[in-house]
Amino acid sequence: MSFVTHISSRRAEKLIWYASTLFSDVPHGFSTRLGGASEKPWNSLNLGPNRGDERAHVEENYRRFCGAIGADVERVVLAKQVHETTVRTVTAADAGKGLWRPRDYAADALITMEPGLPLTVFSADCGIILLREPESGAVGAVHAGWRGCAGGIVEKAVAELCKLSEAEPGQIRAAVGPCIGPVCFTTDSDVPDAMRRALGRSSEAHFEYDYGRNKWRVDLPGLIRECLLRAGVPAAQIDLLRLCTACHPELFWSHRKMGEARGVQAAMIMKPSAP
């Protein structure tokens, strides 16, 4: 299934990232592995503080990425992802947690109305989603692997962002970043079964059986889009980057292809501070 995308690559010296025109008025981006300071096996823009990489390299990588997208590196807030469905409302008290200060929470989605807080989620195959409600300026960042999708993390994040901003789902804009695609995401029946339970018949278009491999091929970005539609986000306000993390090791890390000896890419968004 093909979708129109408004997400394109951007460059600042050797650093490359992706951004959506649906979010052109807010600092945001989907990072790649290019343009950082880290050495192998984290080379080079590893944004995972707990991957075994040198601390100074990770901090420098955040400075470079935040500088490129116009976010405040001193106030970044990082998700602590556990493949569950907790949505955390981030406040000024959370500034710097996960990078400069310890995290005292676990959450796979972060939302905020507070300006100047770059919300950050991570991926090495899972889906990463950025959300925005334009009128209030509320923003969100969501980590959505298949378990999170099946559990309803996407719908819950949209609902919580609407509650926070006093908006309707039809006002929300969403951008879905790079994740593993159907060529590389092969599974047993547990994933299709879980998605059928979560989404019903609308899920069927996003997996097919590979008789040669005796496996199911799963279209994770397509399933994430279905979750966003189910949450009430209009199709015209969903931007989808169909770049498979496993197919493009020159750009991204993939847990399925690389195992644990790797870094992670990130999605980041910040409500701008008042002028």
Model pLDDT, residue 1 = 47
Tell whether 200 is covered by a domain.
no
Structure letter (DSSP) for residue 70: T
Q: What is the CATH number of the domain that holds 54?
A: 3.60.140.10
Assigned domain for 204 exists: no
- What's the full length of the chain, in residues? 275
Q: Which of 63, 58, 68, 61 has the alpha carbon at shortest distance from 18?
A: 68
Q: Assess if residue 155 is contained within a domain.
A: yes
pLDDT at 275: 56
Count of structural domains within the chain: 1
Residues of the chain below pLDDT 70 = 1-4, 274-275
Contacts (Cβ under 8 Å, ≥6 apart) of 249: 257, 258
Q: Is residue 127 part of a domain?
A: yes
Q: Would residue 2 count as lying in a domain?
A: no
- What span, in angstroms and rounded, lies between the C-alpha atoms of 209 and 225? 21
Q: Which of 8, 23, 3 is nearest to 175 (CA)?
A: 23
Around Cβ 22, how many Cβ atoms within 10 Å?
21
Reference 89, options 128, 126, 140; nearest CA is 140
Q: Residue-wise over 221-253: b if at least 16 C-beta within 10 A, else e?
A: bbbbbbbbbbbebeeebbbbbbbbbbbeeebbb
Supply the pLDDT for residue 192.
96
Residue 196 in any domain: the answer is no
The closest alpha carbon to 46, from 67, 66, 61, belongs to 61
pLDDT of residue 6: 85
At residue 241, the pLDDT reads 93
Helix%, strand%, coil% for the chain, nearest 5 = 30, 25, 45
User: Is position 25 within any domain?
Assistant: yes
Range of the domain at 64: 7-179+225-269
Identity of the residue numbered 2? S
pLDDT for the residue 5: 75
250 Cβ contact list (under 8 Å, min separation 6):
none
Residue 205 placed within a domain:
no
